[in-house]
Amino acid sequence: MSVILSLRLQSLNSKMDISAMQWRTVLLFFVFCSECACGQISYSIPEEMAIGSMIGNIAQDLGLDIKRLKSGKARIFSGESMEYVDLNRENGLLLIKEKIDRESLCAKLTPCALHLQIIMENPMELYSVTVEITDVNDNAPTFQKNEMRFDISESAMIGARFVLGKAADPDVGINGLRSYSLKPTDNFVLDKESGGEKNVEMILQKPLDREKESQITLTLTAFDGGESRLSGTMQIYITIMDANDNAPVFTQKVYKAAIIENAKKGTKLTRVSASDADEGSNGHVSYYISDAVDIFLADLFLVDQQSGEVTLNGLIDYEKSSIHQLDIQARDQGGLSDTCKLVYR
Ligand SMILES: [Ca+2]
Ligand SMILES: [Ca+2]
Ligand SMILES: [Ca+2]
Ligand SMILES: [Ca+2]
């Protein structure tokens, strides 16, 4: 093995310019011949250091003479496609050649390290250098979407759950995603069990009331745990859908009308009116003479279903009674109703 190695090295040394492929071959030989490795050293630096920043003094730390670095044509070999580190043979300093982004180098892998070899010729020497790249909190948590929209019925049950998605933070450890908050918390709260790797969910904790609030905007915030805590937000827009939870209400419980003697058919007596707080057909009110009213009395009057206008539909016989009353009903299209009295004399 050692004979093959020395032959191979001689042939390599004879060439002025040794390609990376050939260096790789040399390294492979060294892997099989570990006694040729002359030392190793480790450094730890934060990611994102500026180009030209010093990682360490190789000459000092490995006890090498500067002259030897030059005469041995000391150079760096790394398996990475990108050359992040440079060796200055003039002063023995290991320098940042390309900015190191820990996230693109190692993603979520920890620890993250560059494994380099410093190789010298005449005689061949090999030193291994490990540069650990520590994480910097340079990414805020972000949501896949900036906003979400929900249509939720005001009759939704307490405890109803809604999936909000999740945020991601490419940093690691404490600099990664830590917590969520949802504000305001009047109707909805975050499910404490959700989050992390799972989607965040919110739970309805107080009934909705479209009549009070028909639109709700919430802000979901994701935080990391870094020293300068970073955050990302998502807006949640909720449209509260109507339920028929309000009956019509007459503006008066009793309407009075004075009917002059011999009043003709078609005489306008009064106009009843009810309001309904609901929306659309749930709030659309129609007027009727109550079914409970005696049929002969009911025939004496007409109520316009839409306007609530009450008109005379026949002749009133005051001989029988001088005071009369009639029940009128207001109904919405969901079947809820209110009743008022029309008193006439
Ligand atoms: Ca980074
Ligand atoms: Ca980072
Ligand atoms: Ca972060
Ligand atoms: Ca309603």
Residue-range domain boundaries for the chain: 2-134, 142-241, 249-344
* Own/partner pairs, 319-326, CB within 8 angstroms, 24+ separation: 324/297, 326/289, 326/290, 326/293, 326/297, 326/298, 326/301
CA angle 325, 327, 328 (to 5 degrees): 130
Ligand number with the minimum distance to the CA of 222:
3
Distance between CA atoms of residues 148 and 236, nearest Å: 5
Ligand number with the minimum distance to the CA of 213:
4
Distance between CA atoms of residues 221 and 236, nearest Å: 11
Residue 32 has pLDDT above 60, yes or no: no
- Residue 182 alpha carbon to ligand 2 centre in Å: 25
What's this model's pTM, rounded to 2 decimal places?
0.77
Mean pLDDT, the chain, as a whole number? 87
- Residue 226 alpha carbon to ligand 2 centre in Å: 10
- Residue 41 alpha carbon to ligand 3 centre in Å: 30
Is residue 13 within 8 Å of residue 121, measured between CB atoms?
A: yes
- Residue 91 alpha carbon to ligand 1 centre in Å: 29
Q: How many CB atoms lie within 10 A of CB 152?
A: 18
What three-state secondary structure class fits 21?
helix
- Residue 139 alpha carbon to ligand 1 centre in Å: 7
- Residue 266 alpha carbon to ligand 4 centre in Å: 37
Q: Do domains 2-134 and 142-241 have the same CATH topology?
A: yes
- Residue 296 alpha carbon to ligand 4 centre in Å: 37
Q: Which residues surround ligand 1, an ion (CB under 5 A)?
A: 101, 103, 138
Please tell me the predicted confidence (pLDDT) of residue 1.
Answer: 29
Residue 133 has pLDDT above 50, yes or no: yes
Domain spanning 142-241: which CATH class is it, in words?
Answer: mainly beta
- Residue 168 alpha carbon to ligand 3 centre in Å: 9
| Percent of the chain residues past pLDDT 90, beyond the cut | 74
285-340 pLDDT tens trace: 999 999 877 877 788 899 999 999 999 998 877 676 666 788 999 999 999 999 99
Residue 16 has pLDDT above 80, yes or no: no
Mean of the pLDDT values across residues 198-205? 94
- Residue 141 alpha carbon to ligand 1 centre in Å: 13
Residue 44 has pLDDT above 90, yes or no: yes
- Residue 93 alpha carbon to ligand 2 centre in Å: 25
- Residue 44 alpha carbon to ligand 3 centre in Å: 20
- Residue 102 alpha carbon to ligand 2 centre in Å: 6
CATH number of 2-134: 2.60.40.60
CATH architecture of 249-344: Sandwich (2.60)
- Residue 330 to residues 57, 173, 256, 288, Cα–Cα distance (Å): 91, 65, 17, 7
CA angle 171, 175, 178 (to 5 degrees): 105
Ligand number with the minimum distance to the CA of 243:
4
